[in-house]
């Protein structure tokens, strides 16, 4: 089934928070999850690391990456 209507022209914006990327073994595509603080990030890493590949992407604040591999870049 095809999508109908006009596609969006603006890129998606990320909310303020800490982002993780989860991948299944052998997969090229991952999903991003957001957490509010670093304690929750550490708990999520422990929770998902047993059966997923977990990668910390960094913190987003006011439309910019604060830390992580994309530090200083706009979204």
Domain locations in the chain as residue ranges: 17-65
Per-residue pLDDT at 57: 94
Contact between residue 34 and residue 3 where contact means Cβ atoms under 8 Å apart: no
Per-residue pLDDT at 53: 95
Which residue positions in the chain have pLDDT lower than 70?
none
Place of tokens 């957490």: 35
- Tell me the C-alpha distance between 31 and 12, whole Å: 14
- Give the pTM: 0.81
- Tell me the C-alpha distance between 21 and 4, whole Å: 30
Per-residue pLDDT at 37: 95
Per-residue pLDDT at 16: 95
Q: What's the distance, CA 46 to chain centroid?
A: 17
């Amino acid at each position: 089934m095809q999508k109908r209507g006009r596609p969006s022209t603006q890129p998606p914006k990320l909310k303020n928070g800490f982002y993780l990327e989860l991948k299944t073994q052998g997969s090229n595509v991952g999903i991003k999850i957001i957490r509010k603080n670093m304690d929750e990030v550490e708990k999520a890493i422990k929770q998902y690391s047993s059966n997923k590949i977990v990668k910390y992407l960094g913190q987003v604040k006011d439309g910019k990456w604060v830390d992580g591999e994309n530090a200083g870049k706009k979204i």
